[in-house]
Copies of this chain bind each other. A is one copy, B any other.
Amino acid sequence: MHGLLTDLYELTMSAGYFQAGKSGDTATFELSIRKLPQSRNFVIAAGLAQVVEYLLTVRFSAEELDYLRSLPQFARVSSAFFERLCEFRFTGDLFAVSEGTALFAGEPVLTVRAPLMEAQIPETYLLSMIGFQTLIATKAARIVEMAGGRGVVEFGTRRAHSPEAGVLAGRAAYIGGCLGTSNTLAGFRYGIPVYGTAAHSWVLSFPDEMQSHRELQKLLGPATIYLVDTYDTLEGARRAASLGPPAWGVRLDSGDLIELSRAVRSILDQAGLHEARIMASGDLDEYKIRELVAANAPIDAFGVGTELATSADAPTIGAIYKLVELEHDGVRRYTAKFSEDKVTLPGAKQIFRFPDHDVIGCASECAPAEALLRPVILGGKLLEPLPDARSARAHAAESVKKLPEAYRRLKDAEPYPVRYSPQLQALLEQARRSV
């Protein structure tokens, strides 16, 4: 991974730490969800696997270092710093909650403890990777919940914020509960099931719709999903039905999905195709899916693109990465920010998950509850292979199922009870007094 894929100030600060003789200080940084995304009541943590990959492989190439040397911001930096960057490796520790865990406002997703420079440089990458995948896994969990057992497939790479974001969105959406993705590279890389139908261009490429349907069936057999709205939806469905089995079914991509799905269902049934299914797509989100389900529209699966791959109603997440402890010459200092509207809590932490509430405490505390932050990397070495996307997905499903319905509502849900331990509160007061 490119060391340069970070904000410039991470690198200038690292040079400053180095020159001030602080690069040997041991820092503890915490990545936490300061604020939940708009109209979310929980998030599903995701992105840890890519964070681990980054930490284990981040390097600076000779060309990258030459580039840094050429920048005016490094004019006063000694060559010893660039030699240090040339050998840059992450040698520290990473503690993190498992992918698929439901989290709430204020809770840490991960903690990095490492020599100051090694903990500082990853900030930008970690925030972006965890923030994005968490956003998408969370959106997927909402959509899947509203689909009430009907399958949801992620279709959004074309609307994702770059092709690579599309690959990661496919992964995160799967963790959040989707059946799979249309992104073939996500399937290849992460072993996620891939799905697809046909585009309007398929239909248009044949002189008539009937022929396009016939060729699709020849190609895909029982996996055939006819796209029927290129010219006239009902006529398209009649043509598809006339071909008989095998086929999975049809896809509706425009128009009034409640009316059309009913009409198409009876076309399929009248042709004896009771097993044939209906997939709906076209600017769907959790609210529209809830309506379709509430109206008992005979839709068996949903393809969700734009809204899912961009979390369009809440495209940002308030994740932060803050220095919470620093050891210099064996002396540990607990740090916190007291800016007007942005106070942070000092010290390395632990989340204790009780059956009906969470307690955020100090990392050194014990409690009769599940401790969510666990060691992942120690001394630069991965402790054990991470669970794959399939396991993370199962964990997410379980994690959401445990939340009482009141906390899972689409809007205006009750905030989940998260408390701070007395020891953590005392540490905050201590840090405040010391400033």
User: Which residues in A have some Cβ–Cβ distance to B below 8 Å?
Assistant: 2, 4-13, 15-17, 19-20, 22, 25, 27, 29, 63-64, 67-68, 71-73, 75-77, 116, 120, 123-125, 127-129, 131-132, 135, 155, 157-169, 182-185, 187-188, 194-202, 204-207, 215-216, 218-221, 223, 229-233, 253-255, 306, 310-312, 315-317, 319, 321-323, 326, 333, 335-342, 435
Shortest C-beta distance, A39 to chain B (Å), equals 14
Measured in the bound complex, the distance between the Cα atoms of B161 and A120 in whole Å is 21
- Shortest CB-to-CB span from A37 to chain B, Å, is 11
Please pick, from B120, B125, B219, the residue contacting A76 in the complex, using a CB distance under 8 A: B219
Q: Is the CB of A201 within 8 A of B338?
A: no
Chain B residue nearest to A222 (CB atoms) is B72
Looking at A9, A157, A185, A341, the one whose CB has the most chain B CB atoms below 10 A away is: A9
Is A132 in contact with B161, judged by CB distance below 8 angstroms? yes
Q: Compute how far the CA of A17 lies from the CA of B203 in the bound complex, rounded to whole angstroms.
A: 11
Chain B residues with CB below 8 A from A199, complex form: 9-10, 13, 120, 123
- A157 and B128 form a contact (CB under 8 A): yes
Which 6 A-B residue pairs are closest in the complex by CB-CB distance? A8-B196, A9-B196, A161-B161, A127-B158, A315-B315, A201-B323
- CB of B128 within 8 A of CB of A185, answer no
Query: Smallest CB–CB gap between A291 and chain B, Å?
Result: 17
Asked if B128 and A158 make an inter-chain contact with CB atoms under 8 angstroms apart, the answer reads: yes
**Residues of B with C-beta under 8 A to A341:** 254-255
A182 contacts across to B, CB distance below 8 A: 7-9
Give complex CA distance A204, B166 in Å. 37
Decide: A73 and B162 in contact? CB cutoff 8 A.
no
A163 in contact with B230 (CB, 8 Å): no
> Beyond A116-B205, A165-B162, A310-B316, is A339–B230 a contact (Cβ under 8 Å)?
yes
How many identical subunits does the complex contain? 2
Nearest CB on B from A285, distance (A): 11
Q: A5-B185, A254-B340 are in contact. Are A205 and B124 (CB under 8 A)?
A: no
**CB distance A6 to B220 under 8 Å?**
no
Q: A8-B195, A124-B183, A233-B339 are in contact. List 10 more A-B contacts (CB 8 A).
A: A4-B187, A5-B164, A20-B206, A73-B194, A73-B223, A76-B219, A124-B157, A162-B164, A164-B164, A230-B337
* A12-B220, A223-B72 as given contacts; A7 in contact with B196, CB under 8 Å: yes
**Closest residue on chain B to residue A199 by CB atoms:** B9
Q: How far is the CA of A10 from the CA of B13 in the complex (A)?
A: 46
Give 18 pairs: A residue, B residue, CB < 8 Å, sorted on A.
Answer: A4-B188, A7-B196, A9-B202, A11-B184, A12-B220, A16-B198, A25-B205, A64-B188, A73-B220, A73-B223, A127-B158, A128-B161, A129-B163, A161-B169, A205-B335, A233-B339, A233-B340, A255-B339
Assess whether B76 is in contact with A220, with CB atoms less than 8 Å apart: yes
**Assuming the A-B contacts A8-B182, A158-B123, are A16 and B215 also in contact, with contact meaning beta carbons closer than 8 angstroms in the complex?**
yes
A169 to B5, CA, bound (A): 12
Of all chain B residues, the one with the shortest Cβ separation from A326 is: B205
Residues of B within 8 A of A336 (CB): 204
Q: In whole angstroms, what is the CA distance A304 to B36 when docked?
A: 21
Contacts of A339 in B (CB 8 A): 200, 229-231, 233, 253-255
Is the pair A128, B73 in contact by a Cβ cutoff of 8 Å? no
Q: How far is the CA of A102 from the CA of B183 in the complex (A)?
A: 31
Cα-based distance from A326 to B339 in the complex (angstroms): 62
Once A195-B8, A220-B12 are accepted as A-B contacts, the answer to whether A323 and B200 lie under 8 Å apart by CB is yes
